[in-house]
């Protein structure tokens, strides 16, 4: 399996580390918004623990630790290992004034 | 009571035995050189300051800092790409503190600098079979078309992270590759390169950065 890093080009997968699903979004609740604790807890439980077991394309985090040390988001087919796209995760590099994480 | 000596020494002090190794012959297939006496500074642009960093680099070194995997020769230093919005500055060591002071002032507020002068070891591989020796432990495509002079890559070779780039061809017309490796891994990588080169014959030596 070879992964085309958007910065380094195509490399062997041994240079990369897999993190997991890139889809979950951290729930945002305003402090003292009156939200019920059960709902907040449910939302975080879902965010931290619950994952879809996708057969097909999924968005996932990969870390190019053996290369440019950037976090990447790849669309990979979990059945065929085909990569449809590999892009930098938000906040990579200093060009964009965005913090890391979605 | 142990007396500690604080003399700096090369991480290859023991591993590097200068001379010919492996197959004997008129000409060694691989030439392996440790380049010493470097000043090495990692420059990382701060959030939203990539343009300021590029401007400061241009002013200080007279060239555009690489924003793709390339190595560029600038005034008094070589700039090697080391990741998005970061690069490594490599210069022969003259007066280290004033060299680093000049950079601190130039990049003040735009980028964070990290002195790696004694943190990395620079190994240079050349000779007619140098590329063949590297191909044994690296998965990089080093063909002229894929890795021409001036190309750089951060990669893992022999389970070790290296910054690799291609220098101008040697006087013999053969490619020259530089590899920057963490000092603690230099010994191991050196052995890997020597072992890969034995069948071609390898000349090893050390030199001062120029």
The residue extents of the domains of chain A are: 2-88
Encoded tokens for B93: 């060591």
Architecture of domain B19-36+119-208: 2-Layer Sandwich (3.30)
Q: Which residues of A touch B83 (CB under 8 A)?
A: 7, 68-70, 93
For the stretch A61-72, pLDDT in tens is 999 999 999 999
Interface of B with A in 54-113 (CB under 8 A): 68-69, 82-86
Domain ranges of chain B: 19-36+119-208, 38-115
For chain B, the first-to-last Cα distance in angstroms comes to 41
Q: Region A16-29: what's the mean pLDDT? A: 91
Instruction: Look at residue B78 in the predicted model and tell me its pLDDT.
Output: 96
- Residue A8 Cα, gap to closest chain B Cα (Å): 7
How many CA atoms lie less than 13 Å away from B180 in the CB half-sphere? 28
Answer whether B43's CB lies under 8 Å from B53's CB: yes
Full-model pTM: 0.89
Q: Cβ distance B166 to B177 under 8 Å?
A: yes
Residue from the list A66, A68, A97 with its beta carbon closest to the beta carbon of B84: A68
pLDDT in tens, chain B (210 residues): 677 777 778 999 999 999 999 998 889 999 999 999 999 999 999 998 999 999 999 999 999 999 999 999 998 999 999 999 999 999 999 999 999 999 999 999 999 999 999 999 999 999 999 999 999 999 999 999 999 999 999 999 988 999 999 999 999 999 999 999 999 999 999 999 999 999 999 999 999 998
Indicate yes or no: CB of A9 within 8 angstroms of CB of B69.
yes
Strands, E, within A8-70: which ranges? 9-12, 17-21, 57-63
Nearest CA in chain B to A89: B84
At A52, is the secondary structure helix, strand, or coil? coil
> Given a cut of 70, is residue A98 above it in pLDDT?
no
**What is the average pLDDT across A32-47?**
91
CATH of span A2-88: 3.30.2270.10
B111-115: strand order across its sheet: B71-74, B77-83, B86-92, B38-45, B111-115
B203 touches chain A (CB under 8 A): no
CATH number of B38-115, picked from 3.30.70.1400, 3.40.50.2000, 3.40.50.2300, 3.30.365.10: 3.30.70.1400
**Contact between chains at A94 and B48 (C-beta distance less than 8 A):** yes
- Are residues B41 and B114 in contact, defined by beta-carbon separation less than 8 angstroms? yes
- Answer yes or no: do A7 and B69 touch at CB < 8 A: yes
Provide the pLDDT confidence category of residue A86 given band limits of 50, 70 and 90.
very high
């Amino acid at each position: 399996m070879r992964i085309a890093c958007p910065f380094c080009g195509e490399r062997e997968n041994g240079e990369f580390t897999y993190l997991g699903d890139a889809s979950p979004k951290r729930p945002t609740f305003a402090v003292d918004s009156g939200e019920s604790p059960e709902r907040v807890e449910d939302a975080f439980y879902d965010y931290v623990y619950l994952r879809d077991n996708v057969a097909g394309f999924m968005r996932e985090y990969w870390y190019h630790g053996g290369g440019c040390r950037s976090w990447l988001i790849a669309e990979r087919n979990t059945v065929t290992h085909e990569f449809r796209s590999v892009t930098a995760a938000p906040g990579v590099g200093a060009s964009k004034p965005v913090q890391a994480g979605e | 009571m142990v007396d500690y000596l604080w003399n700096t020494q090369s991480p290859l002090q023991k591993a590097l035995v200068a001379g010919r190794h492996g197959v004997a012959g008129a000409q060694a297939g691989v030439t392996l050189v440790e380049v010493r006496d470097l000043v090495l500074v990692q420059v990382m642009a701060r959030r939203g300051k990539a343009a300021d960093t590029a401007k400061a680099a241009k002013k200080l070194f007279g060239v555009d800092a690489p924003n793709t995997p390339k190595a560029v020769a600038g005034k008094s230093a070589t700039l090697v790409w080391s990741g998005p919005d970061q690069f490594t500055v490599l210069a022969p060591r003259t007066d280290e503190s004033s060299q680093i002071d000049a950079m601190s002032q130039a990049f003040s507020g735009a980028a964070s600098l990290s002195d790696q002068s004694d943190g990395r070891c620079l190994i240079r591989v050349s000779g007619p079979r140098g590329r063949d020796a590297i191909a044994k432990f690296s998965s990089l495509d080093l063909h002229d078309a894929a890795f021409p002079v001036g190309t750089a890559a951060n990669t893992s070779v022999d389970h070790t992270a290296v910054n690799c780039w291609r220098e101008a061809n040697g006087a013999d017309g053969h490619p020259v590759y530089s590899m920057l490796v963490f000092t603690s891994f230099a010994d191991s990588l050196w052995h890997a390169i020597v072992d890969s080169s034995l069948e071609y014959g390898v000349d090893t030596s050390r030199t001062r950065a120029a």
